[in-house]
Chains A and B, each alone.
Chain A
Amino acid sequence: MAEILVLAEHAGGDVKKVTGELLTLARRFGEPAAVWAGAGAEKGQARLAEYGAARMYVADGGDFDDYVTAPVAELLASLVAKKSPAAVLMASTGQNKEVAGRLAVRTGSGLIVDAVGLAEDGGRIIAEQSVFGGATIVHSAVKTGSPVITVRPNSTAPEPAYAAADIEQVDMQLSESAKGAKITERVVQERGERPELAEAAIVVSGGRGVGSAEDFELIEKLADSLGAAVGASRAVTDAGWYPHKFQVGQTGMTVSPQLYMAIGISGAIQHRAGMQTSKTIVAVNKDPEAPIFELADFGVVGDLFQVVPQLLAEIGKRSGSRLALAPEGLPAGHRRLSR
């Protein structure tokens, strides 16, 4: 059976949820093999085995932390040459789309980014993409080479299926041209306990209706009560009420969580482009004509400063029974609960 290479996403040896999703998808097309760039493979092995990785190709040199994207692309290219996989899958992050681009150039393979689903048709992998701000659904396939496909987080539910995850060390001599962009310093900006916006199962976003940087705390409180990530509309980030990197929309991040809560967001096309593939959408806005209500599964027309505090109080009352959506890898009780 052909191999499907899955680039493992990990931090400090912990495997991210999206990697379980990708391994689950990969099983439809062949035998999943995880590619581990950097240290900590032993720590990640159990999790990758749980989601069906037959093998782990491990390259643990420090180069992956020292240079931008090229070393990972080189590692993947060497594995593509040696193993002729049926596809290479990676999570759709800004960095990985660049790795995928370099890999496609190196291997002369077709590149598909931001797939929201993968299906098999006549031996080919068909990727579903949501384009033009989610208005059009496109199915694409790769005609040349080992398909290089980046898949958005939350595209599928990760399902365990145990496999061996045998570790195979990969020797790699990094080329000089891969050392052109050297990382000299890493600055980590405190994110607190919130999940990453791109990966979060729940996202709570605030818009112009929130009114000020100070009042954005209400959005954070609601997000924390649900174990959610915080997002913002462009109006908010343009006004400087919340950092730009949290912008959801056409020119910002695209998310498709299980639940998206749009608070004080009118739902201009700029914003809808970044969130309309969310599974469930809840909106609170005082304007009954706001276009966000066209997307909402549930909407409240009202003052967010009345509605959200009441919602927070209700969540507080019920939080003891809220266990269903604990993030992967954490026991439910480990999550921060608001009282």
Chain B
Amino acid sequence: MNIVVCVKQVPDTAAERKLKPDDATLDRESVDGLINELDEYAIEEALQIAEAHGGVVTVLTMGPDKAAESIRKALSMGADKAVHLVDDALAGSDALQTSYALAQVLHSIGFDLVVLGAESTDARIGALAAMLAERLSVPQLSLASKVEIDGSKVRIHRQSEDGYQVVEGTLPAVVGVVEKINEPRYPSFKGIMAAKKKPVTRMSLAEAGIDPARVGLANAATEVVDFAARPPRQAGTIVKDEGDGGSTAAEFLVAQKFI
């Protein structure tokens, strides 16, 4: 089985993340880039599927040169090879454009199963699995808390507001997994050494058959009008419990008409 895992490099969520004042795109330079932590569940699920059913796991990343660090991490966890879509013309692409670019790459490299994490911790859109399924005309098996594969049939538990749905589709398909579907493995020393020798194919727009007029900040379907740091909240009232902490909290809630 040909399994492709989509991975994104994002700024460290523990650092202070910013937009750049000149073009309101993400400042990727001033903060360390890490693999999107929700993608680690997708990598782990892809590896487990390949281990159980046989197959090759390819990591697919779209991003600047620096994103190669996240590719190495994914390879050190056990993925077999990687494709890095890298082209200056992609900078500032929005969700619509990103889904187009990734779909073009997936068309060109081929796949039986595409696996994604639930969302990226920077943009937090949470729609890429659905958008890829739409573009590729394959089943959307997303928000999965469990994935089972039986021949060409894929069955998932899809998380819903009040429980879950059992959803079935056939390969080729797009699977999106939620946090906690598995416990992502740590790269072993052997894995880290092996990753250095694994093939990483750099792909340009032309090689992926991507129309440059359909990607990049200038052609985006959305724009940032302005942005600002959130003003700090007004300092609140903090009291030390002297045996009446619950009562004073109740008084606050009464004053605010919550009780």
- Interface residues as binary, B15-47 with A (CB distance below 8 Å gives 1, 0 otherwise): 011110000100000000000011000000000
Contact of A99 among B130, B230, B236 (CB under 8 A): B130
B223 within 8 A of A: yes
Q: Which residues of the other chain, A, contact B94 by a CB distance below 8 angstroms?
A: 110-111
Q: Does chain A have a CB within 8 A of B125?
A: yes
B224 CB to closest chain A CB, in angstroms?
A: 5
B125 x A300 contact (CB < 8 A): no
Contacts A187-B165, A298-B237 given; indicate if A244 touches B179 (C-beta within 8 A): yes
Interface centre among B238, B243, B248 (most CB of A within 10 A): B238
A211 within 8 A of B: no
Chain A 286-328 residues near chain B, CB threshold 8 A: 288, 293-303, 306-315, 318-319, 321-322, 324-325
Tell me which residues from 227 to 250 in chain B have a Cβ below 8 Å from any Cβ of chain A.
227-230, 233-234, 236-241, 243-250
Give Cα A183 to B128, complex, Å.
20
What is the CA–CA distance of A141 and B220 in the complex, to the nearest angstrom?
11
A259 adjacent to chain B (CB < 8 Å): yes
**Interchain CB contact under 8 A, B241 and A306:** yes
**Assembled-state Cα–Cα distance A269/B257 (Å):** 29
A187's nearest neighbour on chain B, judged by CB, is: B163
Residue from A140, A226, A313, A319 within 8 A of B225 (CB atoms): A140
Q: Please judge, given known A-B contacts A102-B134, A136-B228, A138-B19, whether A189 and B139 are in contact too, CB under 8 Å.
A: no
Answer whether A138 and B227 are a contact pair too, CB < 8 Å, given A104-B131, A145-B221, A314-B250. Answer: yes
Q: Are A68 and B247 in contact (CB under 8 A)?
A: no
Asked, given contacts A98-B129, A298-B252, A310-B247, whether A105 binds B99 with beta carbons under 8 Å apart, the answer is: yes
> B108 within 8 Å of A by Cβ?
no
- The answer to whether A133 and B162 touch across the interface, beta carbons within 8 angstroms, is no
Question: Taking the nearest CB of chain B, how far is it from the CB of A233, in angstroms?
Answer: 14
A311, B246: Cβ atoms under 8 Å?
yes
Q: CA of A184 to CA of B234 in the docked complex: distance in angstroms?
A: 50
Using CB atoms, name the residue of chain B closest to A197: B161
> Which parts of B125-167 form the interface with A (CB within 8 Å)?
125-131, 133-135, 137-143, 155, 157-167
SS class, residues of chain B in contact with chain A: mixed
Taking CB as reference atom, which chain A residue is nearest B17? Answer: A132
B169 touches A141 (CB 8 A): no
> Across the interface, do A288 and B240 meet the contact criterion of CB distance under 8 Å?
yes
Q: Flag if A111 contacts B166 (CB, 8 Å).
A: no
Which chain A positions have C-beta within 8 A of B142? 68, 98
List 14 additional contacts besides A110-B221, A141-B222; criterion CB under 8 Å: A94-B143, A101-B128, A112-B222, A126-B225, A135-B229, A136-B18, A186-B165, A251-B37, A251-B179, A298-B236, A298-B237, A298-B239, A300-B239, A307-B246
Can you offer 13 A-B residue contacts whose CB atoms are under 8 A? A69-B140, A94-B161, A132-B17, A137-B227, A137-B230, A181-B169, A250-B121, A254-B124, A297-B233, A298-B249, A300-B249, A310-B247, A314-B249
The 7 lowest CB-CB distance pairs between A and B, nearest first, are A310-B246, A302-B241, A101-B127, A180-B139, A110-B221, A314-B250, A98-B130
